[in-house]
Amino acid sequence: MKVQLRVITHSEIQCYLDCRRLYYYKYNLQLQEPVGKALRMGSSLHANMALYFAGDEVKDILDSIDKQYTSLLFSDDEYIRDITKAMIIGHDACYNRSEFETIDVEVEFRVPIIYDANTHKVKYAGVVDAVVKHVPTGKYWLVEHKTTSSITPAYRKRLEIDPQLTMYLLGMVQNQEEPYRDMKFEGIFFNAFRKPTINPKQGESQEAYAVRLVKDYCGRPDFYFFRQECLRNQAELDEMREFLWYRAEELSNPPPDYARNRNHCDSWGGCAFRPLCIEFSDELCMAYERKPKLHPELNSAE
């Protein structure tokens, strides 16, 4: 029987770097954080931008979004539904869709980690939002979408060294699956979608707010949308090979203890596993759901 090599992802690496105790909860115990509004909004946008880049008509995508939210499981589902629709409509009005020919969407890669002519037993995996051909130049690019609360000069500058973008480009450069093995990728088109800055008015219906959202996104495209070409040179890719090798080494040989990084406890609104750090117990662990698989972001089985 062929042994499936273990894989690591950007999310796993980042979690380990953020806090080893958090890593223990999420990747050793396989506990799942509560799915918050920000994550649900990001997932909704990604799923529907995949339809957009796959060639679906905007009208059909909007109908699909309505069907996705037929059952409102969370109190803010209507809000997320209408923001997603406004983002899709605004993005379509802001950019020329015919600029790209989509090769595929939600492209998963699973490649060996190679450094200094050595191949690691652990593989690196990830999912790229889209692979496209830039029609005016005939060159191939990756596309990544992100929602954000603000698009500042610092946010834009950080993309120049963003490790996830570098990891994804390296992963696709090494991808030997057809049709990607012979493609030369220029870089990553990074699409940022800003979350709305307008809220429902007192007494305003959800329908009226939805109309106002679309007008705001279409009326202020420079405020809500940002696209940047992110390039990486060979030295940066080689540096990332080294980085991945040593992270794979660390994750293959766990530390004797999973020390808590107290500087991370209040990041992103506070850690969902804080109660476990204060007083760990098996009973408290049972209050958290288990992840269905180690890396939920991957499409294929692990």
* C-alpha span between 93 and 265 (Å, rounded): 40
What's the CA gap between 62 and 48, in Å, rounded? 9
- The label of the residue with tokens 């995508």 reads 61
Half-sphere exposure of 1 (CA within 13 A, CB side): 3
Task: Dump pLDDT digits (tens) for 223-269.
Answer: 999 999 999 999 999 999 999 999 999 998 877 788 999 999 988 77
Ramachandran quadrant class, 134 (left: phi over 0; alpha: psi -120 to 50; beta: rest): beta
Q: Which two tokens stand for residue 292?
A: 């269905």
Higher pLDDT, 236 or 73: 236
* pLDDT digits 0-9 by tens, 103-146: 999 999 999 999 998 999 999 999 999 999 999 999 999 999 99
The CATH topology of domain 37-246 is Lambda Exonuclease; Chain A (3.90.320)
Write down the domain spans for the chain: 37-246
Going by the DSSP 8-state scheme, the letter that residue 128 receives in this structure is E
Q: Give 180-207 pLDDT, tens digit per residue.
A: 999 999 999 999 999 999 999 999 999 9
Asked if residue 172 lies in contact with residue 180, where contact means CB atoms within 8 angstroms, the answer is yes
Phi-psi bin for 241: left (phi > 0), alpha (psi -120 to 50), beta? alpha
Look at the pTM and tell me if it is higher than 0.85: yes
